[in-house]
Amino acid sequence: MLAFPKAKINLGLRITGRRPDGYHDIETLLYPVGLRDALEIVRGPEGSVKDSMVVSGIEIPGAAGDNIVLKSIRKLRESFQIPPLRIHLHKRIPAGAGLGGGSSDAASALHVINRIFSLSISASNLKEIAATVGSDCPFFIDQVPAFASGRGEILTPAPLVLRGYYAVLANPGISACTGEAYAACRPALPETSLRAITAAPPEEWKDKLINDFEEIMFPKYPVIKELKSAFYASGALFSSMSGSGSTVFGIYGKKPSLPKEIAGHIIFEGEL
C-alpha cells in the first residue's frame, strides 16, 4: 500500500514553559502543505524473518535501523501480531528542516499498517500511539490545521483556511538540531493568544505571529534570517521560519516573482 506523507509548517511557535519530564510546553498552529514523501509498505516475501527497508531520495542522517518509521512499527508490534514487512520510503521532505517529515512518515506507517492488516484502530487511538513515537506525530494522523499545545501532542481543530493563498518553502540546506534549539530557548507566556492572532488574515500577522526559535537560529545561521528578509522584500504577506528551522516560508496573495536569494533554495511552492 502506498501513502504520501505531507509536510507541515508552524504558524507561530511559542515556548511557554519547561516541563518536569524534560520536555517543553509549546503553543503553535500546525498547517499541512503539499510537499510530500512517498511511503510504500507491503508484506515481506514468504520466509522472511525481519523487516527490510529501502530509503531513496534525500539522504536521511543516522542508522537505517533507527528510522522513525521502523520505530512506529515496533510500537504497533507491542500490541499486534504484524508479519515482516518490506518498506520503501522516498524522501522529498528534508530532515532537520522544521517540516515534520519524519513524524509524518511515522504517522503514515501507522495508518497504512492499520489498513493492510485490518487492525481497526480508531483515529484517537492511533494518535495515542503516535504520541509515544514523536511529539508532533499525532498531528499527521488527520493532517488538518490544528492548534497544538503540551509537547505538541494536544491538538485542537483550527478554523483557519488559507485556500487561495500561495506558499513558497525555502531550505538553505542546514539540518537544524531541535534539541539544541530547545536547550537555548527562554520560555515565556505570550501576551496575545495564537488563536486571537490567526483569527485575522495573513496580511495582519507580520510582527505579531512569532516563532521563538528565530531568535536562537538567526544569529547562528544568518542565511535563515536573510531568507526571511528576502521573502518580505519580494512581497510576502507573512514569512517565518518553520519549527526549529531551517526552512523558511513565505505566504503570498498570488504566485510571486522570486529573487535569486530565494529561488536557489526552493523546495516547494504552490497554493495552500
Residues labelled as active-site residues? 8, 136
Distance CA 141, CA 35 (A): 16
Under a CB-based contact definition with an 8 Å cutoff, are residues 254 and 176 in contact? no
| Structure letter (DSSP) for residue 261 | H
Task: Write out the three cell numbers for 246.
Answer: 531551517
Give the residue among 175, 23, 24 at the shortest CA–CA distance from 102. 175
In sequence order, what DSSP letters do the residues of 15-55 get, joined into one string?
EEEE-TTS-EEEEEEEEEEEEE-EEEEEEPPTT--S-EEEE
Q: Check whether the bond before 246 is cis (ω within 30° of 0).
A: yes
- Report the C-alpha gap between 189 and 174 in whole angstroms: 29
Residues 211 and 241: their CA atoms lie apart, in Å, by: 7
Cell 514553559, located at residue = 17
Distance, CA of 245 to CA of 249 (rounded, Å): 10
31, 11 contact by CB (below 8 A): yes
